[in-house]
Structure 1
Amino acid sequence: MRCDDFEAEQRAREWFHSLVVPPGAWTIMRVDGRGFSRFTENRFDKPFDLRFSGMMTATAEAMLAEFNGRYAYTESDEISILLDPTVDLFGRTVEKLVSISAGIASAAFTHAAGEPAHFDSRVWLGTSADDVVDYFSWRQADATRCALNGWCYWTLRQHGKSRQEATKALEGTSTADKNELLFRHGINFNELPTWQRRGLGLWWKTYDRAGYDPLRRIPVTATRRRIHTERDLPMKDDYRELIARLIRPT
């Protein structure tokens, strides 16, 4: 068999390599920590640890910068990176977007933590700005639900309940029941830090930087940009408006 024919036959078996994100689609890559329940249990405070949040934020910053994303959102052990519809990274191939985003997240978090950690990745597609707003509203609602569950579970654990007992005690409980459980232990869920209840958002902000032109011998102002990290995100309609504003054409 000719070498060219043999190579073509083997490449034809890369069944999913030709799968690409449709032109003009809003693309979000969401990475999740692999086995992070076990990884975090003996290394960080529960239910939330500011050190862990800092590591996840550093990972989100690295991903936002590497992909030149429009917006990043992180809660718990997940990060969502929004790409502009015009972005043509890696020819928009799904395999590349998934593998490279997982690789960057794993490397950035490992660097921040000082020990190996791994992430998986998936791709979400939207056809309109409204789809994007809905997506991030969904993830923020998930953050709030998980935060409430986590505070209840670990409060019970810290008061002597086993894993099984804490899980059983929360089965079938409503949001009101969970808030009441915390209140009985002196915790007002609505007064907990915003980043725990709503996650964190990251986006680019422009700023003016004063400088000096040595050739013309005059002061000049240059426009630069840097990543802004918001730990006090709004919620519900106000959050939807924030996302809509961030993704409007510039």
Structure 2
Amino acid sequence: MSLRAFVYEEPRLLARADFADYLDPSTTAVLSIDLHRGHLDASPKCPCPAPRARDLVAPVDAFHRQARALGVRIVHVKSVLRANGADDLGGIPAAWRRTFPLHVGPIPNADAHALEGSPWTELLTEVLPEDLRVENKRRLSAFYPTDLDFLLRNQRITTVVLDGGFTDCCVLNTAFDASNRTYRVIVLRDLVRGTDESLERAALNMVSLHLGLVMESRDLLAAWGAGSGS
């Protein structure tokens, strides 16, 4: 039985048996990254807008529902900084605050990004009581400086599936950190969005060559539904 994945943007049919360890729902968690109001709100006050990701909410919710039904755990990861700014502007600011405006221009209200207690940290995707949360992401990777690695290992997770944004930023950083920690990595190309199409493609190409599988959600759901190792 074959498995469809994308290698340097080209669809390939892979031997499913070669990637059986990637496809067991019981040892898999979906990491849904930063789909919160601080990126997705259409207001001009949005402190770190990611307009290309706004159309992800409904398809991500649909994918999560089907994944849960197959026994896959959902982990919602979001950036939350201490309200007094000690994690960022009150100390050594995150690098993106100085470099990203060189590309997009000044970002109104950027100082409010991800502040604890603000409306900007509200997740806009569906969160169910059985879902898991990691809500102290301070920088670009979901693993730093959070307890995500502890949580996943305690749940006996060996494969992580990434959706959310930005493809070329937090998703890519998380994919690198997951691979370096020996997790099997799958990034869903239809459920991530990058800064722009060019950077999105570049990030997915890097994942496909060095870090794991780049797939579409429908193909992964079909692989899960077919049963691990079949």
Question: Same-fold call, TM > 0.5?
Answer: no
Question: Normalising TM by the smaller chain, what interval?
Answer: under 0.3
* More relative contact order, 1 or 2 (CA 8 Å, 6+ apart): 2
Larger radius of gyration: 1
With structure 1 as the length reference, what TM-score do the two structures score?
A: 0.25
